C-alpha cells in the first residue's frame, strides 16, 4: 500500500547543499523488509523487537524514514561485555527499506558494537538509529559502510550521552554510490564524552557525506571529531560538522579536524564546519585541509626500493593511521584494514 | 671492475643547466669524496642518478655495473644496487619505521629474486642491524622520521642502508646538521660496510666527515663538472685554501 511520503531533499536546503537527494525520487524500488543478523547473544545484552516509535530529530531524512518504517529492533545492555556485538542490517536486492534500531545502555554498562552498514545491489536504505547511554555507560560503535557500488545508504542517528558516559564512534565509508551518515549527538549531562571518527575511502563517482551535529548541552562535556577522506577518480566527499554549545555548557571542550587527500584532479572534498557557541568558558577548535600525495615522500619511498603503487598505498595508510588507531580491538581493526587494502587495489 | 660509470653527464633542474658534462668512474671497493661550493651541482648529481622527478638528463650516460641507470625506474635503481642517503630525510606521519623498513626490504628482495621475510624473522633481522647503530626498539615503532633529531634521521638512513645492502652508496651531505657523536655513528656504519664489491660517493661541503671516512679519491665539483681530482690530501688542501682558488 503506497503511503504519502515527504519529498527527498534537494540542494536548496542548506543541510543538503552538497548532497542533492532529489534524484532519488526517480528510483523505482519495491518496498523491502529489513532483517537483522547479529552475533550470538552476549551476556548482559538482549536483542528484541522494537517498541513503536523513536524520538528522532526532525529532518528531511527522518521524516521520510518515519513514514516508511519496515522493521526494527531494540538492543539493551545491562552488563559489561568484552566481545563485540556484530550487527548486520540488510534487505533484499532492488528494495527500499527504512529500518530502526535502538540501543540502550544501562548505567555503568559497557558495550562494543560492530555495525556492518550494508545496502545490497541497487538498494536504498534510510535508517534510523537511536542510541542512549545512561550515566557512566560506555559504547564503542564501529561502523563499516561497504554497500554495493550502486546502492544508496542513508542513516540518521540520535545519540544521547549521559553523565560521565562515553560514546566512541568510528565510521568507515567505502561503499555505496551515494551515502549520507547523519549522527546527532547530544552530550546531555555533565562529564559526557563523545568522539566521532570518520574515514571516507571513495573512488569512481561515489558520493559520501558525513554530516554531524554535536550538541553540548551540559557542562564539562568533551567531544572530538576527526574526519579523514581519501578521494580518487571523480569521488566527492562531504563533511559538515556542526558544534553547538548551550549557554549552560561551560568548561566544554570540542574539537574538530577534517583532512582530505585527493588522489586525482577529478576528486572533490566539501567541508563545512559550523560552530554555534553560547557559553563563554569553552575550548573549541576546528581545522580543515585538503591536499594531494606528498611528492617528496613518494620519491623517498621509491628511493628505498618501494614501487609506485605500493608507495602510494603506504602514504594513504599513513594518512588514515591516526583515525584507525582509535580501534583497539585487533580483529575488528584487521577487518577495517582489509577494507583499506581493497580500496587501494581498486584505486591505485 | 668499474661499478659506476658516469660519462659526460648533463642535467637540468627548473630550466637551469646544473650538470655540464660530468664524467666519473668509481671502481668497486673504493670511497670517492665529491666536494664543492654551494650550487656546484653536488646534490643534483645524487638526485639525477637516483631519478628524482624534475631532474632532466639532457646528455651523457650513467651505468651501474653495466646497467643503464636512466632506463630504470627509481625503485629499480635501488634493486640494481644504488642507494642515495638524503641530506634531509623525509618525515612520513602515520607510517611506522618498522612497516616502512619491511616494505622496502621485501620490495628490494623481491626485485632481486630473493626470498621475502615474514614479520617475525624480519623483526629479528632489523633488530640485529639496529643494535649496531644504537637504535632503540621504540624508534622503530615511531613514524618515519617524525620528530627525530638530525642525528636520529641519519642513523635511520644508515639502518636502511644496512638492510638494503646496496653496491653503490651515495651519501648526500650526510654530515650536515650532525654533532660529532652522530657523525661518528654514521662514519662507523659506512666504514663497517666498506667491502671489495661496494663503493661510496661521499658528497660533502666540508672536510670534517672525511676525518672519519677516509676517501680513496677526492674530486672537486664546480659549475657542474669535475675540475680537479686527487688523493685524500686534496680535501685538506681545500679546507686550507677554500674553493675559490681551485674553481677560479
- B167-221 confidence digits (pLDDT tens): 999 999 988 888 888 888 889 889 989 999 999 999 998 888 999 999 999 999 9
Shortest distance between the Cα of A302 and any Cα of chain B, in A, equals 5
Predicted confidence at residue B205, as pLDDT, reads 85
Query: How many of the other CB atoms lie within 10 Å of CB of A155?
Result: 25
Query: How many of the other CB atoms lie within 10 Å of CB of A9?
Result: 21
Shortest distance between the Cα of A94 and any Cα of chain B, in A, equals 40
Question: How far apart are the C-alpha atoms of A297 and A304, rounded to whole Å?
Answer: 11
Sign of the dihedral through C-alpha B39, B41, B42, B43: positive
Q: Which three cell numbers stand for residue A312?
A: 602510494
Closest residue in B to A294 (Cα–Cα): B92
Cβ within 8 Å, pair B92-A300: yes
Instruction: ipTM value, please give it.
Output: 0.96
Q: For the segment B5-35, what is each residue's pLDDT rounded down to a tens digit? A: 999 999 999 999 999 999 999 999 999 999 9
Q: Contact B87/B174 with Cβ under 8 angstroms?
A: yes
Predicted confidence at residue A52, as pLDDT, reads 60
Residues in B touching A257 (Cβ below 8 Å): none
Q: What is the end-to-end Cα distance of chain A in Å, rounded?
A: 47
Predicted confidence at residue B247, as pLDDT, reads 58
Q: Is the pLDDT of residue A296 over 70?
A: yes
Shortest distance between the Cα of B155 and any Cα of chain A, in A, equals 15
Question: How far apart are the C-alpha atoms of B103 and A298, rounded to whole Å?
Answer: 14
List residues bridging with A274 in a β-sheet: A242
Question: How far apart are the C-alpha atoms of A249 and A282, rounded to whole Å?
Answer: 8
Q: Contact B79/B114 with Cβ under 8 angstroms?
A: no
Angle separating helix axes B150-164 and B97-111, nearest 10 degrees: 30
Q: Which of residues 281-340 of A touch B (CB under 8 A)?
A: 294-297, 299-308, 310-311, 314-315, 317-322
pLDDT average, residue stretch A12-39: 92
Query: How many of the other CB atoms lie within 10 Å of CB of A309?
Result: 12
List residues bridging with A284 in a β-sheet: A254
In order of A42, A196, A260, A298, the CA distances from B92 in angstroms are: 41, 25, 16, 10
Closest residue in A to B51 (Cα–Cα): A303
Question: How far apart are the C-alpha atoms of A203 and A175, rounded to whole Å?
Answer: 9
* Among the listed residues A132, A18, A5, the one whose alpha carbon sits nearest the alpha carbon of residue A75: A132
Cβ within 8 Å, pair B90-A296: yes
- The reply to whether B142 touches chain A by the CB within 8 Å rule is no
pLDDT band at A3 (very low <50, low <70, confident <90, very high): low
pTM: 0.91
Q: Which three cell numbers stand for residue A318?
A: 599513513
- The reply to whether B50 touches chain A by the CB within 8 Å rule is yes
pLDDT average, residue stretch A204-223: 98
Task: State the average pLDDT for chain A.
Answer: 94
* Among the listed residues A103, A49, A98, the one whose alpha carbon sits nearest the alpha carbon of residue A77: A103
- Provide DSSP, chain B: -EEEEEEEEEEEETTEEEEEEEEEEEETT-EEEEE--TTSSHHHHHHHHHT-TTEEEEEEEEEETTEEGGGS-HHHHHHTTEEEE-SSPPPEEEEEHHHHHHHHHHHHHHHTT-----HHHHHHHHHHHHHHTT--HHHHHSEETTT--HHHHHHHHHHHHHHH--SEEEEESTTTT--HHHHHHHHHHHHHH-BTTBEEEEEESSSGGGGTS--SEEEEEETTEEEEEE-THHHHHHHHH-HHHHH-
Strands (E), chain A: 30-31, 35-38, 45-49, 72-77, 85-90, 95-97, 100-105, 110-117, 124-133, 138-145, 152-161, 166-173, 178-187, 193-202, 207-216, 222-231, 236-245, 252-262, 268-277, 282-292
Phi, psi dihedral angles at B182 (to 5 degrees): -65, -40
Q: For the segment B107-121, what is each residue's pLDDT rounded down to a tens digit? A: 999 999 999 999 999
Predicted confidence at residue B212, as pLDDT, reads 93
pLDDT average, residue stretch A118-137: 95
Q: Which three cell numbers stand for residue B162?
A: 644496512
Residues in B touching A302 (Cβ below 8 Å): 51, 73-75, 78
Phi, psi dihedral angles at B181 (to 5 degrees): -65, -45
Q: Is the pLDDT of residue A1 over 50?
A: no
Cβ within 8 Å, pair B100-A304: yes
Predicted confidence at residue A92, as pLDDT, reads 82
* Nearest Cβ partner for B160 among A304, A307, A310: A304
Cβ within 8 Å, pair A303-B78: yes
In order of A46, A53, A163, the CA distances from A50 in angstroms are: 12, 8, 25
Residues in A touching B81 (Cβ below 8 Å): none
Q: For the segment B208-248, what is each residue's pLDDT rounded down to a tens digit? A: 899 999 999 999 999 999 999 999 999 888 888 888 777 55
pLDDT band at A4 (very low <50, low <70, confident <90, very high): low
Residue the block writes with cell 568522539: A195
Predicted confidence at residue B59, as pLDDT, reads 97
Question: How far apart are the C-alpha atoms of A114 and A140, rounded to whole Å?
Answer: 8
Q: Which three cell numbers stand for residue B120?
A: 617475525
* Nearest Cβ partner for A318 among B52, B93, B104: B93
- The reply to whether B104 touches chain A by the CB within 8 Å rule is yes
Amino acid at each position: 500500500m503506497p503511503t504519502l511520503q515527504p519529498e527527498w531533499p534537494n540542494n536548496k536546503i542548506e543541510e543538503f547543499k552538497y548532497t542533492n537527494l532529489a534524484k532519488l525520487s526517480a528510483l523505482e524500488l519495491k518496498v523491502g523488509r529489513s532483517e537483522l543478523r547479529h552475533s550470538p547473544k552476549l551476556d548482559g545484552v538482549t536483542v528484541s523487537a522494537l517498541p513503536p516509535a523513536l524520538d528522532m530529530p526532525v529532518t528531511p531524512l527522518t521524516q521520510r524514514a518515519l513514514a516508511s518504517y519496515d522493521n526494527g529492533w531494540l538492543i539493551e545492555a545491562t552488563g559489561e561485555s568484552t566481545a563485540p556485538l556484530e550487527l548486520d542490517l540488510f534487505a533484499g536486492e532492488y528494495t527500499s527499506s527504512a529500518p530502526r534500531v535502538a540501543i540502550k545502555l544501562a548505567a555503568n554498562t559497557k558495550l562494543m558494537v560492530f555495525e556492518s552498514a550494508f545496502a545490497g545491489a541497487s538498494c536504498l536504505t534510510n535508517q534510523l538509529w537511536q542510541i542512549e547511554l545512561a550515566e557512566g555507560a560506555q559504547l564503542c560503535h564501529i561502523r563499516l559502510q561497504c554497500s554495493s557500488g550502486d546502492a544508496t545508504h542513508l542513516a540518521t542517528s540520535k545519540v544521547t550521552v549521559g553523565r560521565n558516559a562515553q560514546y566512541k564512534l568510528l565510521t568507515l565509508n567505502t561503499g555505496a554510490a551515494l551515502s549520507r551518515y547523519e549522527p546527532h549527538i547530544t552530550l546531555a549531562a555533565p562529564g559526557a564524552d563523545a568522539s566521532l571518527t570518520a574515514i571516507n575511502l571513495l573512488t569512481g563517482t561515489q558520493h559520501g557525506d558525513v554530516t554531524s551535529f554535536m550538541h553540548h548541552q551540559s557542562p564539562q562535556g568533551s567531544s572530538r571529531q576527526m574526519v579523514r577522506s581519501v578521494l580518487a577518480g571523480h569521488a566527492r566527499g562531504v563533511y559538515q560538522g556542526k558544534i553547538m554549545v548551550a549557554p549552560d555548557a561551560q568548561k566544554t571542550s570540542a574539537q574538530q579536524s577534517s583532512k582530505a587527500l585527493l588522489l586525482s584532479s577529478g576528486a572533490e572534498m566539501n567541508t563545512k564546519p559550523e560552530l554555534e557557541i553560547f557559553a563563554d568558558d569553552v575550548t573549541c577548535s576546528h581545522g580543515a585541509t585538503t591536499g594531494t600525495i606528498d611528492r617528496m615522500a613518494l620519491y623517498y619511498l621509491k628511493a628505498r626500493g618501494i614501487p609506485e603503487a605500493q608507495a602510494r598505498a603506504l602514504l594513504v595508510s599513513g594518512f588514515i593511521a591516526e583515525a584507525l588507531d582509535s580501534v583497539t580491538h585487533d580483529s575488528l581493526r584487521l577487518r577495517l584494514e582489509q577494507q583499506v587494502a581493497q580500496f587501494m587495489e581498486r584505486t591505485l | 671492475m668499474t661499478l659506476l660509470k658516469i660519462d659526460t653527464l648533463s642535467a637540468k633542474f627548473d630550466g637551469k643547466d646544473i650538470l655540464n658534462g660530468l664524467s666519473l668512474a668509481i671502481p668497486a671497493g673504493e670511497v670517492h669524496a665529491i666536494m664543492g661550493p654551494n650550487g656546484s651541482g653536488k646534490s643534483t648529481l645524487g638526485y639525477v642518478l637516483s631519478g628524482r622527478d624534475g631532474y632532466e638528463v639532457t646528455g651523457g650516460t650513467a651505468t651501474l655495473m653495466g646497467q643503464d641507470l636512466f632506463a630504470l625506474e627509481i625503485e629499480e635503481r635501488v634493486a640494481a644496487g644504488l642507494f642515495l642517503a638524503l641530506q634531509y630525510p623525509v618525515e612520513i606521519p602515520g607510517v611506522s619505521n618498522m612497516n616502512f623498513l619491511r616494505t622496502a626490504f621485501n620490495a628490494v628482495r623481491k626485485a632481486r629474486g630473493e626470498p621475502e621475510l615474514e614479520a617475525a624473522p624480519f623483526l629479528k633481522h632489523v633488530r640485529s642491524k639496529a643494535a649496531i647503530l644504537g637504535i632503540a626498539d621504540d624508534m622503530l615503532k615511531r613514524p618515519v622520521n617524525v620528530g627525530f633529531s638530525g642525528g636520529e634521521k641519519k642513523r635511520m638512513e644508515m639502518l636502511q642502508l644496512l638492510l638494503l645492502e646496496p653496491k653503490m652508496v651515495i651519501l648526500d651531505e650526510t654530515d650536515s646538521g650532525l654533532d660529532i657523536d652522530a657523525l661518528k655513528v654514521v662514519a662507523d656504519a659506512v666504514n663497517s660496510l666498506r667491502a671489495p664489491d661496494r663503493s661510496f660517493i661521499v658528497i660533502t661541503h666540508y672536510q670534517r666527515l672525511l676525518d672519519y671516512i677516509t676517501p680513496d679519491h677526492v674530486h672537486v665539483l664546480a659549475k657542474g663538472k669535475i675540475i680537479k681530482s686527487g688523493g685524500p690530501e686534496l680535501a685538506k688542501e681545500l679546507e686550507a685554501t677554500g674553493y675559490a682558488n681551485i674553481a677560479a
